Structure 1
Amino acid sequence: MRKVTLGTSGPEVSALGLGCMGMSEFYGAADRDESLATLERAGELGITFFDTADTYGIGANESLVGDFLGRVQRDEVVISTKFGPVRDPETRGLKGLRGDAEYVAQACDASLRRLGTDYIDLYYLHVPDPKVPIEETVGAMAELVKAGKVRHLGLSNLDAAKIRAAHAVHPITAVQNEWSLFTREDEQSAVPVCAELGIGYVPNCPLGRGLLTGAYSATSEFGEGDVRTRVSRFAAENVDHNLTLIKTVTAIADAHNATTAQVALAWLMRQSEVHGVTVVPIPGTANVKWLAENAGAVDVNLTDEDLATLEPLAAQVAGTNRH
């Protein structure tokens, strides 16, 4: 597994990270034992970058990652987590967003307890609070760095203007927004700003919630609680069309003796060269088999011709990936 430096002065991380969200919520029933096995296998494969958030499973995902942390050398892994959304533990619904200084401090301390560690490598504002200026939120996050509780700051779900404003308060190490072969809006906004400011880019949903794996068909059924039941790209009126686009990815995968998921991830990693920004995808899985497949993407070397063939796909996708 290759290592890269996240941003100009960020931590050294594996070229591919692991998104842990689906181990606790949003993609069907959780299996804690399988999730822990997946986390441990990730370490064996050389993956050192693990992403969670306090809202995933309403703390359960951080606790899971904390259990994993107790089994490894702390300084050999890079843990990122996030704060901002506040959920009702009874209804599990969203109560609101908080980015005020008091809450920033409270959320960080709670995450540290669940993770069972005394510092967070990369701490993201998950979703901005519309009632609080971004400068105030990032200023409070900077205090966590001064206190030694956090080593690097990140932003998620923010536009280019807010990224600039935040970076002016304290250096931002990474931005985590959606980016994939099928979702490329940030290439005209957030990505150039990250390249200019030396901020790393951590694409979430790099496999389009599984659509880019080629593992689903128009007749696939998702279990109760699966977020894809509310995503229009998987809706009956769109999924057949979107699956035809996967055929282009499959043809390139076959030429490289790879899978469509590996091609999609390799394409993202090549964007580091195209856009001049460190790109570290964090595909999520709770399954050892898919983890190993994803890790193999670092060995897929796409040609310029491959990139040209893949270029038009995003503009042809029907529906959005939002829920």
Structure 2
Amino acid sequence: MSVSVGPVKAAMTRQSVSLRELARRTHYDVAHISRALRGLQRPSETLMRALADALDLSDDDDRVAYAARHPGRIDAAGVRALAASLAAQRRADDVVGPGPLVNAAEAQREALTALVRETSGKHRESLTAVASQASQFAGWLRIELNDYPRASALLNEAIDLADEIEDGSLAAQAHNLRGNIARQRQQWNAVHRNSVAAYAGESAPRQRVVNGAQAAWALTVLDRRGEAEQLLSEVEALRDKAADCAPPATAYWLTPEWMSLPIGHAHLLLGRHRDAAEHLRTGLYSLPLELRYALWTSEARAALAEAEA
């Protein structure tokens, strides 16, 4: 891996790593590292590789930094590489959780949003879509960490970026996560408002199932049972049709089985424990073992235990 000075300095700031600590990790002299990072001497490949390893950098860090330094050189391949970097972080969250990823995700989102402001031309729209996804992903990590004020700010940013390029699907995904925050706070009118906005704005059938089911949860809690049952019936019919459609690239986890999870939650709130347990088991047991007990499945596991009890 080849990495330049910029990502190293950014990572030092992000991780609060001092020159002295970096020297301890790499066994290089402090003054030698300082001169290299300040541009007073040309750093060797060996030194840069050692610094990158000490800070756990990847090629993706260098790619984002290069793009930020050269906004006029953004092309289709560069946008695809940035999207691939973000996709890799999403996959990592499934395995290691939000803690190790959140600072890097925030840094990447900051670099991408700055890059959007400086970029013009035919690739700006696709770059803006990646920036919206980055803000949304950073917001999701903050939700996992129960940092709801920061999550809300990031999701608002994701919606603004999606609206700028009139991407209703990306905006709907962020509205759905805003509904998730409201649900954690027991703000059920806000859950309903955001979920309905997501349900109406989303074109991908599988994502609509999730949005509609969450709206049905809210209607049940708001004592609008008739509306909840009608919407849930509509969502279940949509789920059967959605099974034949591919999931959005930004929501790879939406398998036909996984869509049973939000439906199971809605059945549980309606007091249909047997139906709830069946749907929740279907959704959870479809996941690979390494994901079945991930942080983001804890709510579904608790709901299944309640339904079976």
Indicate the structure with greater strand content.
Answer: 1
Select the structure of larger CA radius of gyration: 2
Select the structure with the greater relative contact order (CA < 8 A; seq sep ≥ 6): 1
Same fold (TM over 0.5): no
- TM score, norm. by length of structure 1: 0.30
* Greater share of residues in helix: 2
